[in-house]
Structure 1
């Protein structure tokens, strides 16, 4: 399943928080970094399942966060709920 949200945090901070969250906050579903780049992170967990997270800086400010997983849906949803929301654009 693919999950998406927007946050006021910078992309690097989102990825750092994801590393900590999946290693420390969900012990029964822990996942650890396997591969990463400046705007993405792949975590590997129980049974070889993975969580892929990408961050995209938006021109109007804020960061779009996209996460994909087959097994960690509840943990991903919980992680995304910990991120501060981005300010809504006024038109």
Structure 2
């Protein structure tokens, strides 16, 4: 491996986004509920939380990061995970959509 190679760079992982009329706090609470209620293979537990973000730890130590912030009058929710991308996509698709013509 070249000496300048940097394995496991976080920025190379998939970042998924959704926009919702929910508040950032409500979106993060929804993420906590979603991760806790999955079947045992995909369950993830809240590890850290702070203003605008929450991290979860899943099977095998897999990290899931969810962040939420207001952008142009709507809440933008982002999610990232190396192995749980499908679960992140399912969570984001479960959020209420913006109304037609919304922000």
Report the counterpart of residue 78 of structure 1 in structure 2.
Answer: 90
**Consecutive aligned runs of 4 or more in structure 1 exceeding 4 Å deviation:** none
Q: CA-atom RMSD, angstroms?
A: 1.5
Cα distance in 2, alignment partners of residues 80 and 23 from structure 1 = 15
Report the counterpart of residue 4 of structure 2 in structure 1.
Answer: none
Structure 1 residues 18-27 or 47-56, which shifts more? 18-27
| CA-CA distance at 1:4 after TM superposition | 0.6
Name the SS of the counterpart of 2:27 in structure 1.
helix
Residues 5-63 of structure 1, C-alpha deviations (whole Å, 9 max, x = no match): 111100000000100101103432000111110200000010000100111112x3210
Matched-pair contact (CA < 8 Å) for 1:26–1:75:
no
Matches within 5 A, 1:1-91: 1-58=14-71, 60-87=72-99, 88-89=101-102
**Greater C-alpha radius of gyration:** 2
TM (norm. structure 2) is 0.79
Name the SS of the counterpart of 1:86 in structure 2.
coil
TM (norm. structure 1) is 0.89
Gaps in structure 1 of 5+ consecutive residues: none
| CA-CA distance at 1:89 after TM superposition | 4.8
Structure 1 residues 26-35 or 15-24, which shifts more? 26-35
